[in-house]
Amino acid sequence: MDFGRVTPDEIIYPDRGKFKFPKANISILIGVILAFIVLKSAFYTIQPNEVGVLLRLGKFVGTTKPGLHFKIPLGIDKVIPVKVAYIYKEEFGFRTRQPGVRSVYQEKSYRDESLMLTGDLNVLDLEWIIQFKIKDPFLALFNIRDVHKTLRDLSESVMRKVVGDYSFGEVLTTKRLEINTKVQRSLQEILDSYGAGIQIVTVKLQDVNPPDPVKPAFNEVNEAKQEREKMINQAWEVYNKKIPQAKGEALKIVKEAEGYAQEVVNRAQGDAKRFLLLWSAYQKAKEVTLKRLYLEAIRETLKKAGKKYVVDQDQKGILPLLKLNDEE
């Protein structure tokens, strides 16, 4: 070996230069790789609950439906998938750490967004949720910068405004559904005026409580109100039992009196009519009428006389005939 002609690379790497990759093969390999990259970037898939927002050189071209689609590669066409059938949820005053049958919530307090002032200048601690979905993907992407932050800021503002129109007791008890409806309607109107492309699905107050420092006093007041309602209900129960009973008894007495009065009148009218008939008969036949009246009077009298003894007027000793010891 002629060491005078050997380069240092040949000494260190003695096998170098024995195999050379053909330049044509390298070009083909690079071409195949580029073609694969181009073909891969030319196709895209949209999921069933999404639509694709197609941009060509940054300009909106249209939307594509779920499925496999072709686009111009090399960055000319760009597709942004947007979930339009998905229901998003924003929580206020609390955060869900682990959803499930028994959801686990974060213990951190969110008083800065949950404490609100009512119309009668009382403070309430509200927890509520808002569910929404994307109505117009283009507007949601390009008309507002951050959908979630915008929605949260607007929701908190609208909720404070609506709650400020109601009293402490109304928000706590009877007006919760009405507040949900008002907040949803007002929030949707504002989002539509912004051209946000968002549809509000649900607004729901989850929990409404007085602040922790005043909870004991509030519970005492609430217990007193419940006791008052209990006593009122018990009084009404007694009232509903006694008053109808008294009314029924009074009506019974009135009806009996009316029946007795009618009976007395009818009897008097009957007696008067009978007297008139007797008087008329007496005028026509005095002897017969007198005898008839006598016999009727005797018959009525004998009915009440008990035992009767008929004695012959010629009999002189009647005592032996009487059975004085006979109980009959």
Of 210, 234, 260, the residue at which a domain comes to its end is: 210
- Core vs surface per residue 62-95: b (16+ CB within 10 A) or e: ebbeeeebebeeeeebbbebbebeeeeeebbbbe
Q: pLDDT value at position 210? A: 83
pLDDT for residue 309 is more than 70: no
pLDDT tens by residue, 76-116: 888 888 888 899 999 998 888 777 657 666 677 788 888 98
What is the bridge-based pairing of β-strands 104-105 and 96-98?
antiparallel
311 or 301, which is more confident: 301
* pLDDT tier for residue 156 given thresholds of 50, 70 and 90: very high
Same-domain pairing of 63 and 172? no
Residue 111 lies in a domain: yes
* pLDDT tier for residue 12 given thresholds of 50, 70 and 90: very low
pLDDT tens by residue, 163-215: 999 998 888 888 999 999 999 999 999 999 999 999 999 999 988 888 777 77
**Mean of all residue pLDDT scores within the chain:** 81
Amino acid 14 reads P
Q: pLDDT value at position 128? A: 93
Three-class DSSP category at 229: helix
Of 43, 63, 83, the residue at which a domain comes to its end is: 83
Amino acid 190 reads I
Residue 7 lies in a domain: no
User: 99 burial class (0-12, 13-18, 19+ CB within 10 angstroms)?
Assistant: exposed
Residue 28 lies in a domain: yes
Same-domain pairing of 107 and 65? no
pLDDT for residue 132 is more than 80: yes
- Report which of 110, 109, 198 is spatially closest to residue 149, judged by C-alpha positions: 198
Same-domain pairing of 132 and 188? yes
With pLDDT > 90 as the criterion, what percentage of the chain qualifies?
24
pLDDT for residue 41 is more than 80: no
Helix axes 215-284, 286-305, angle to 10 degrees: 130
Euclidean distance between CA atoms 113 and 125, whole angstroms? 9
Q: pLDDT value at position 1? A: 44
Same-domain pairing of 64 and 126? no
Same-domain pairing of 55 and 149? no
Number of domain units in the chain: 2
Q: pLDDT value at position 5? A: 53
Euclidean distance between CA atoms 205 and 191, whole angstroms? 20
* pLDDT mean over 296-307: 76
Of 180, 210, 240, the residue at which a domain comes to its end is: 210
Distances (CA, A) of 178 to 162, 163, 165, 184, 269: 10, 11, 12, 10, 71
Same-domain pairing of 95 and 171? yes
Same-domain pairing of 172 and 99? yes
pLDDT tens by residue, 238-289: 988 888 888 889 999 999 999 999 999 998 988 888 888 878 877 777 787 7
Q: Flag the least confident range among 52-66, 220-234, 299-313.
A: 299-313
Residue 274 lies in a domain: no
Q: pLDDT value at position 75? A: 76
pLDDT for residue 147 is more than 80: yes
Same-domain pairing of 42 and 108? no
Are 96 and 105 in contact by the 8 Å Cβ rule? The answer is yes
135 or 4, which is more confident: 135
Q: pLDDT value at position 4? A: 47
Q: What number of helices (H) and strands (E) belong to the chain?
A: 9, 11
Residue 172 lies in a domain: yes
Same-domain pairing of 33 and 95? no
Euclidean distance between CA atoms 72 and 74, whole angstroms? 7
DSSP string, 33-88: HHHHHHHHHHEEEE-TTEEEEEEETTEEEEEE-SEEEE--TTTTEEEEEEESS--E
Range of the domain at 64: 19-83
Tokens 């503002």, located at residue: 157
**107 φ, ψ to 5°?**
-85, -10
CATH number assigned to the domain comprising residue 121:
3.30.479.30
Residue 128 lies in a domain: yes
Q: pLDDT value at position 10? A: 47
Residue 118 lies in a domain: yes
| Threshold 0.95, pTM exceeds | no
Helix axes 147-163, 176-194, angle to 10 degrees: 140
Same-domain pairing of 119 and 205? yes
* pLDDT tier for residue 65 given thresholds of 50, 70 and 90: confident
Same-domain pairing of 137 and 175? yes
Same-domain pairing of 136 and 183? yes
Residue 196 lies in a domain: yes
